């Protein structure tokens, strides 16, 4: 009798899950501003909230969060892909079909997320780029890093040329402000109005992915290379010197580029984008190096264990963040869109994430997977997986 070979469950790495949890928080801080006001979608500030404190908070978010945390999330996507490959083991012949089904499920979830909850969805992009990752999964780590560097260089050069040519992403300030007002009013309405605004915004969101998509792919490739080298699986003992160097180089260079990005107005400026594209990977690397060194300490280990459950069910938490954003800010829920100053948005983000940390820990004490992870696993394996532990 021939025994059916089944893929093993990928080994969970505490540091990987904790880093993913940290990335979730950074993504929440950035995304929540788009629920609080319709103006950011049009690359202009909400004129109703222009105090020095509001401006300072928005500047801080651009400096430390914007254009950074989706890179970390993308890096971890590439790293986790290598864990899935390894877990396939002797059933590797079926891995391609299973992974394609997984990407198909992710595409459907992303499409529903973009229409119903948040038009700034990244899951559909991940699903499409995942096909590229699958196609090149045999690439050598060194080649993957070189390819990632080339992508980043080309993107930064393109933005620099656009800046030198005087290209402006906001060509009509009055029209952008009018669009921001219309989007804010739409998000303040009922479910039909919110969904209508999401659908109207999708073409503009697709345009923004022309920048985010290639950079996410570059991060995928770096994550793939790191996973092949098992850089996060062996502890930081033999990587201490490298982590210190990442901090010493990443913080000054990364923060300098982030400062240019923030001063130039963030994603509304080609010059700012060029600076961020070049330097954000270094700042993210410094964040990761710092966290890995912290996680290796007794107190840091407790922090890692607190973050890990949220990262283990990252898909459910990502979708949950958008659901809470809709319920807290739009007219579907409390109707706070347009009435919440930028100073309050990060506070709400901290509150949401704190709730998610607690709920994730309790959920995983009883269940094997988060709700969205269970659905995606069912689609991937074409069977109903056991839910309870």
Residue 107 CA to residue 340 CA, distance in Å, equals 32
Residue 302 CA to residue 308 CA, distance in Å, equals 10
In a domain, 325, yes or no: yes
The pLDDT value recorded for residue 50 is 84
Closest CA to 64 of 272, 350, 259: 259
The angle formed by the CA atoms of residues 331, 337 and 340, to the nearest 5 degrees, is 140
Q: Per-residue pLDDT for the chain (389 aa), expressed as one digit of tens each?
A: 333 334 444 556 899 999 999 999 999 999 999 999 999 999 999 999 989 999 999 999 999 999 999 999 999 999 999 998 887 765 556 889 999 999 999 999 999 999 999 999 999 999 999 999 999 999 999 999 999 999 999 999 999 999 999 999 999 999 999 999 999 999 999 999 999 999 999 888 777 788 899 999 999 999 999 999 988 887 777 788 999 999 999 999 999 999 999 999 999 999 999 999 999 999 999 999 999 999 999 999 999 999 999 999 999 999 999 999 999 999 999 999 999 999 999 999 999 999 999 999 999 999 999 999 999 999 999 999 999 88
The pLDDT value recorded for residue 219 is 97
User: Count of domains in the chain?
Assistant: 1
Residue 244 CA to residue 226 CA, distance in Å, equals 17
In a domain, 272, yes or no: yes
118 token code pair:
């948040």
> How many residues does this entry show for the chain?
389
The pLDDT value recorded for residue 93 is 61
DSSP 3-state of 332: coil
Q: Which residues pair with 367 in a beta bridge?
A: 388
The DSSP symbol for 41 reads G
Write out the residue range of the structural domain in which residue 324 sits. 14-381
In a domain, 7, yes or no: no
Residue 219 CA to residue 59 CA, distance in Å, equals 25
Residue 288 CA to residue 279 CA, distance in Å, equals 15
In a domain, 362, yes or no: yes
> Residue 153: what are its φ and ψ, rounded to 5°?
-65, -45
User: Do residues 220 and 78 touch, judged by C-beta distance below 8 A?
Assistant: yes
For residue 228, the number of C-alpha atoms closer than 13 Å in the C-beta half-sphere is 15
In a domain, 256, yes or no: yes
């Amino acid at each position: 009798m021939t025994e059916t070979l089944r893929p093993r469950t990928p080994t969970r790495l505490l540091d990987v899950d904790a880093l993913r949890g940290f990335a979730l928080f950074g993504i929440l801080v950035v995304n929540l501003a788009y629920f609080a006001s319709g103006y950011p979608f049009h690359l202009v500030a909400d004129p109703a909230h222009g105090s020095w404190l509001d401006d300072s908070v928005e500047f801080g978010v651009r400096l430390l969060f914007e254009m950074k945390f989706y890179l970390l999330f993308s890096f971890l996507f590439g790293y986790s892909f290598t864990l899935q490959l390894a877990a396939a083991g002797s059933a590797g012949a079926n891995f391609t079909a299973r992974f394609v089904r997984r990407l198909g499920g992710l595409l459907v979830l992303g499409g529903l997320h973009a229409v119903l909850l948040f038009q700034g969805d990244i899951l559909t992009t991940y699903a499409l780029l995942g096909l590229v990752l699958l196609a090149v999964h045999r690439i050598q780590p060194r080649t993957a890093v070189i390819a990632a560097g080339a992508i980043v260089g080309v993107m930064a050069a393109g933005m620099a040329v656009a800046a030198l040519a005087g290209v402006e992403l906001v060509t009509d300030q009055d029209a952008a402000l009018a669009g921001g007002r219309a989007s804010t009013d739409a998000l303040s309405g009922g479910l039909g109005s919110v969904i209508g605004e999401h659908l109207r915004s999708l073409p503009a969101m697709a345009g923004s992915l022309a920048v985010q998509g290639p950079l996410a792919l570059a991060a995928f490739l770096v994550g793939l290379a790191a996973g092949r080298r098992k850089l996060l699986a062996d502890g930081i003992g033999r990587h201490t010197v490298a982590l210190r160097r990442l901090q010493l180089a990443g913080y000054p260079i990364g923060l300098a580029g982030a400062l240019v990005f923030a001063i130039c107005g963030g994603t509304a400026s080609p010059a700012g984008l060029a600076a961020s594209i070049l330097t954000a990977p270094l700042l993210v690397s410094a964040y990761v190096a710092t966290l890995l060194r912290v996680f290796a300490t007794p107190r840091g280990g407790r922090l890692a264990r607190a973050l890990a459950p949220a990262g283990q069910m990252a898909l459910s938490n990502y979708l949950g963040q958008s659901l809470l954003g809709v319920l807290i800010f739009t007219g579907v829920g409390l109707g706070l869109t347009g009435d919440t100053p930028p100073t309050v948005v990060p506070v709400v983000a901290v509150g949401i994430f704190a709730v998610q940390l607690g709920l994730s820990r309790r959920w995983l004490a009883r269940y094997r997977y988060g709700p969205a992870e269970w659905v995606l696993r069912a689609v991937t394996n074409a069977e109903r997986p056991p839910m309870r532990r």
